Protein backbone atom coordinates (compact mmCIF):
# COMPACT_ATOMS: atom_id res chain seq x y z
CA UNK A 1 0.00 0.00 0.00
CA UNK A 2 1.41 3.40 -0.98
CA UNK A 3 1.75 6.05 1.64
CA UNK A 4 -0.04 9.40 1.45
CA UNK A 5 3.12 11.36 0.46
CA UNK A 6 3.78 9.19 -2.59
CA UNK A 7 0.18 9.42 -3.79
CA UNK A 8 0.07 13.19 -3.17
CA UNK A 9 3.37 13.85 -5.01
CA UNK A 10 2.39 11.71 -7.99
CA UNK A 11 -0.89 13.65 -8.20
CA UNK A 12 0.99 16.96 -8.32
CA UNK A 13 3.29 15.69 -11.06
CA UNK A 14 0.31 14.56 -13.12
CA UNK A 15 -1.44 17.90 -12.64
CA UNK A 16 1.66 19.81 -13.72
CA UNK A 17 2.07 17.58 -16.78
CA UNK A 18 -1.60 18.07 -17.72
CA UNK A 19 -1.22 21.85 -17.29
CA UNK A 20 1.85 21.89 -19.55
CA UNK A 21 0.03 19.88 -22.25
CA UNK A 22 -3.00 22.19 -22.02
CA UNK A 23 -0.89 25.35 -22.34
CA UNK A 24 0.98 23.90 -25.31
CA UNK A 25 -2.28 23.00 -27.05
CA UNK A 26 -3.79 26.43 -26.47
CA UNK A 27 -0.69 28.20 -27.77
CA UNK A 28 -1.25 26.45 -31.09
CA UNK A 29 -4.81 27.82 -31.31
CA UNK A 30 -3.80 31.37 -32.23
CA UNK A 31 -4.95 32.29 -35.70
CA UNK A 32 -1.93 33.56 -37.61
CA UNK A 33 -4.24 35.67 -39.75
CA UNK A 34 -5.57 37.75 -36.83
CA UNK A 35 -2.49 38.19 -34.64
CA UNK A 36 -2.06 41.76 -35.91
CA UNK A 37 -5.51 42.65 -34.61
CA UNK A 38 -5.36 40.52 -31.47
CA UNK A 39 -1.92 41.50 -30.13
CA UNK A 40 0.38 44.49 -30.00
CA UNK A 41 3.92 44.03 -31.34
CA UNK A 42 6.39 42.99 -28.67
CA UNK A 43 9.06 45.06 -30.44
CA UNK A 44 9.26 47.27 -33.53
CA UNK A 45 12.40 47.71 -35.65
CA UNK A 46 13.27 49.95 -38.61
CA UNK A 47 15.47 49.44 -41.67
CA UNK A 48 16.42 51.20 -44.88
CA UNK A 49 16.44 47.86 -46.76
CA UNK A 50 13.41 46.76 -48.84
CA UNK A 51 10.74 44.94 -46.80
CA UNK A 52 10.93 41.76 -48.88
CA UNK A 53 14.73 41.55 -48.44
CA UNK A 54 14.35 41.94 -44.67
CA UNK A 55 11.67 39.23 -44.64
CA UNK A 56 13.86 36.80 -46.60
CA UNK A 57 16.77 37.39 -44.23
CA UNK A 58 14.58 36.86 -41.14
CA UNK A 59 13.13 33.69 -42.69
CA UNK A 60 16.61 32.32 -43.30
CA UNK A 61 17.78 33.20 -39.78
CA UNK A 62 14.70 31.68 -38.11
CA UNK A 63 14.82 28.51 -40.23
CA UNK A 64 18.40 27.88 -39.12
CA UNK A 65 17.07 27.77 -35.53
CA UNK A 66 13.37 26.79 -35.62
CA UNK A 67 13.10 26.64 -31.79
CA UNK A 68 10.68 23.74 -31.78
CA UNK A 69 8.30 24.90 -34.51
CA UNK A 70 8.36 25.12 -38.31
CA UNK A 71 8.88 28.56 -39.81
CA UNK A 72 7.22 29.73 -43.04
CA UNK A 73 6.76 32.90 -45.04
CA UNK A 74 3.67 34.62 -46.33
CA UNK A 75 2.76 37.72 -48.33
CA UNK A 76 -0.56 39.29 -47.32
CA UNK A 77 -1.41 42.76 -48.58
CA UNK A 78 1.46 45.07 -47.67
CA UNK A 79 2.96 42.57 -45.21
CA UNK A 80 5.92 40.30 -45.89
CA UNK A 81 5.56 37.94 -42.94
CA UNK A 82 7.63 35.23 -41.30
CA UNK A 83 5.36 32.91 -39.33
CA UNK A 84 6.11 30.46 -36.58
CA UNK A 85 3.67 28.99 -34.08
CA UNK A 86 4.92 31.21 -31.27
CA UNK A 87 6.59 34.05 -33.20
CA UNK A 88 5.60 36.22 -36.14
CA UNK A 89 7.46 39.07 -37.83
CA UNK A 90 5.86 41.46 -40.31
CA UNK A 91 8.01 43.55 -42.64
CA UNK A 92 6.29 46.36 -44.51
CA UNK A 93 7.16 49.71 -46.02
CA UNK A 94 5.83 52.88 -44.47
CA UNK A 95 6.89 56.49 -45.08
CA UNK A 96 9.94 55.46 -47.11
CA UNK A 97 11.37 52.99 -44.58
CA UNK A 98 10.83 49.36 -43.65
CA UNK A 99 9.08 48.61 -40.38
CA UNK A 100 9.39 45.19 -38.73
CA UNK A 101 6.83 44.32 -36.07
CA UNK A 102 7.71 41.31 -33.94
CA UNK A 103 4.94 39.38 -32.16
CA UNK A 104 5.50 36.57 -29.68
CA UNK A 105 3.25 34.33 -27.63
CA UNK A 106 6.13 32.87 -25.64
CA UNK A 107 5.60 34.93 -22.49
CA UNK A 108 7.24 33.56 -19.36
CA UNK A 109 7.14 30.00 -20.72
CA UNK A 110 10.18 30.31 -22.99
CA UNK A 111 12.51 27.32 -22.46
CA UNK A 112 14.54 28.09 -25.62
CA UNK A 113 14.95 31.82 -24.80
CA UNK A 114 13.17 32.32 -28.10
CA UNK A 115 12.29 36.00 -27.73
CA UNK A 116 15.93 36.93 -27.24
CA UNK A 117 17.06 34.71 -30.14
CA UNK A 118 14.32 35.91 -32.50
CA UNK A 119 14.94 39.60 -31.85
CA UNK A 120 18.71 39.11 -32.27
CA UNK A 121 18.03 37.48 -35.65
CA UNK A 122 15.81 40.37 -36.69
CA UNK A 123 18.50 42.89 -35.71
CA UNK A 124 21.05 41.05 -37.89
CA UNK A 125 18.74 41.58 -40.89
CA UNK A 126 18.10 45.30 -40.54
The Cα–Cα gap between 24 and 94 comes to 35
Angle between helices 114-124 and 51-64 (to 10 degrees): 140
Closest CA to 112 of 53, 75, 68, 70: 68
Q: Helix count (H) and strand count (E) of the chain?
A: 4, 5
pTM passes above 0.85: no
Going residue by residue through the chain, which has 126 residues, state the pLDDT in tens, using 9 for 90 and above: 555 444 444 555 556 555 545 555 545 555 555 788 888 999 999 999 999 999 999 999 999 988 888 999 999 999 999 998 889 999 999 999 999 999 998 887 788 899 999 999 999 999
Task: Tell the burial category of 3 from Cβ atoms under 10 Å away from its Cβ (0-12, 13-18, 19+).
Answer: exposed
Amino acid sequence: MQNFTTIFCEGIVHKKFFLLITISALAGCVNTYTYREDYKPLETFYSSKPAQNVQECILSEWQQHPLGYPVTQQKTGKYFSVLGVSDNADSFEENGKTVVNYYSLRGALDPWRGIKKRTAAIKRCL
